[in-house]
Structure 1
Amino acid sequence: MNSQIQLINVSQQFSDQGATVHLFSNLNLVIQQGRSYAITGPSGSGKSSLLMIMAGLEQPHAGRLSYFTSNTIAPLDSLRRSTGFVFQQFHLLPELSALHNVALPLKLRGDKYAEEKAEVWLAKVGLANRMNHKPTTLSGGEQQRVALARALVFEPKYIFADEPTGNLDANSAHDVADLLFSCCEEQNAALVVVTHCQKLARRAQRVFNLEFGHCGVQRDDARRGALC
């Protein structure tokens, strides 16, 4: 049985120059492995913060996050080990080649086949001939492909992507979106994308709109059996 993430009465806030800013309150959401989701909404509404909470990387001010596998609650550390993250700014290490950037998460886990697996994933994202290039010699689209390969190399159950096409031209954005959806479908992974791009959001099976502290379902295409 596929796993799922549940957010129960989750609220988030932060302090800004002594004032308390409330991002959202009492959100109840379920993210199921194998499905695709988009989170839309205006700047400053808390989309990125919500994404971090879903991934178990940020604590909510109130409420709780639960991770279920085989109908039992699993530790959040287990969720973090099952999560890949794709950032708008790529966050590649400039001193490392594409190959070593992708292999690094596996090496940190002690995987002795890290580089071989990194080679496979770089080939999957179309960078077989750019493996030994450092980020500064790669285009923005190529850097995002490296970041995508790095997120997917350990075959996580969940991929969280924060504006993954925001810094790319139209052609590169389309290619990266295709890769995100197709790779997640291949791996039976959940895909959760924060985006301002309505064209990208429409590719998801379910669209949440976060605005005025609340998260409403903008669209739920339950009839679709594939991620794209």
Structure 2
Amino acid sequence: MSNHIELKGISQSFEINDSKITLFEHLDLSIYQGQSYTITGPSGAGKSSLLMLASGLEQVTSGSSSYIQGSQIGPLSDLRTDSGFIFQQFHLLPELTAINNVALPLKLRGDNQALVKAEAWLNKVGLGHRRDHKPSELSGGEQQRVAIARALVFEPKFIFADEPTGNLDQASANEVANILFDCCLENGAALVLVTHCNELASKAQHTFLLANGQLITKANNTQEVLSC
């Protein structure tokens, strides 16, 4: 049995000015390593919250969540060492060069091959020639490619991406999306991606629409999501 994430009957709500706001209720979602998933829907529907719940970074209001590794069932907190994240804002450290930004997760794990592996991943995303440049010296598309390399350098089993092409022009967005999907496929990682982009959503094996508190499975040829 492959590693996977199980969310069952989950709900998420919060309070503002003594009023309870419910984003969604009683949702089920299974995410398997090696598969790609996109979550689409209108702004404010709770897409990013669902992504954070699936990654174990936020706790569900109700329902159950688990990380299943073969025959072992554990809490989603066990997923943290097996997951990487990519965001709309690149979150690169401005004082570090591209290679040191990519190497950082490995250095924090005490890997003495961090720089060698980081350089290999920069080459994979086509930025080996920019290894010694800082984020301020890179375009938005280049920064996002560095962020992809950083997320994948320690070979996680699951990658979570929140609007990873939202700050990019169309050409850069297409380039980054292709690199992201190809790298996850090559690495055997699951990719769970939140997007408003119809073209990007269609690249995934599984597409969901989150709207009006419901999570609906969508066929890629009938998606009702916004264009880029």
Give ranges in structure 1 of 5+ residues lacking alignment.
Answer: 222-228
Q: 2:13 — aligned with what?
A: 13
State whether residues 97 and 131 of structure 2, in contact with CA within 8 Å, keep that contact through their aligned partners in structure 1: yes
Residue by residue, what CA displacement relative to the aligned partner does 1:88-108 show, whole Å, maximum 9, x if unpaired? 000111111111111111111
Q: State whether structure 2 residue 109 is matched by structure 1 residue 109.
A: yes
Residue by residue, what CA displacement relative to the aligned partner does 1:115-170 show, whole Å, maximum 9, x if unpaired? 11111101100000101111011000000000000000000111111001111111
Q: 2:195 — aligned with what?
A: 195
State whether residues 202 and 220 of structure 2, in contact with CA within 8 Å, keep that contact through their aligned partners in structure 1: no
State whether residues 144 and 176 of structure 2, in contact with CA within 8 Å, keep that contact through their aligned partners in structure 1: yes
State the shift of 1:18 in Å: 2.2
Q: 2:145 — aligned with what?
A: 145
Structure 1 segments of 4 or more deviating over 4 A? none
In structure 2, how many angstroms separate the alpha carbons of the residues matched to 1:219 and 1:189?
22
State the shift of 1:71 in Å: 2.5
RMSD: 1.2
State whether residues 65 and 75 of structure 2, in contact with CA within 8 Å, keep that contact through their aligned partners in structure 1: no
Q: State whether structure 2 residue 46 is matched by structure 1 residue 40.
A: no
User: How many residues were matched structurally?
Assistant: 221
- Code of the residue aligned with 1:39 in structure 2: it is I
Give ranges in structure 2 of 5+ residues lacking alignment.
Answer: 222-228
In structure 1, how many angstroms separate the alpha carbons of the residues matched to 2:56 and 2:143?
25
In structure 2, how many angstroms separate the alpha carbons of the residues matched to 1:174 and 1:188?
21
Q: 2:69 — aligned with what?
A: 69
For 1:130-141, what aligned pairs fall within 5 Å after superposition?
130-141=130-141
In structure 1, how many angstroms separate the alpha carbons of the residues matched to 2:160 and 2:187?
14
State the shift of 1:19 in Å: 1.5
State whether residues 38 and 208 of structure 2, in contact with CA within 8 Å, keep that contact through their aligned partners in structure 1: yes
- Code of the residue aligned with 1:213 in structure 2: it is G
Q: 1:225 — aligned with what?
A: none
Worse overlay, 34-43 or 108-117: 108-117
State the shift of 1:73 in Å: 0.5
Worse overlay, 70-79 or 115-124: 70-79
In structure 1, how many angstroms separate the alpha carbons of the residues matched to 2:20 and 2:98?
41
For 1:1-228, what aligned pairs fall within 5 Å after superposition?
1-219=1-219
The DSSP-based 3-state class of the residue aligned with 1:112 is coil
State the shift of 1:66 in Å: 0.6
- TM-score, with normalisation over the residues of structure 1? 0.94
The DSSP-based 3-state class of the residue aligned with 2:130 is coil
Q: 1:226 — aligned with what?
A: none
Worse overlay, 69-78 or 82-91: 69-78
In structure 2, how many angstroms separate the alpha carbons of the residues matched to 1:32 and 1:125?
24
State the shift of 1:220 in Å: 7.2
In structure 1, how many angstroms separate the alpha carbons of the residues matched to 2:176 and 2:220?
23
In structure 2, how many angstroms separate the alpha carbons of the residues matched to 1:162 and 1:175?
17
In structure 2, how many angstroms separate the alpha carbons of the residues matched to 1:105 and 1:77?
18
State the shift of 1:75 in Å: 4.2
State the shift of 1:213 in Å: 0.7
Residues 67, 149 of structure 1: CA spacing in aligned structure 2 closer, same or farther, 3 A cutoff? Answer: same
State the shift of 1:78 in Å: 2.7
In structure 2, how many angstroms separate the alpha carbons of the residues matched to 1:220 and 1:30?
18
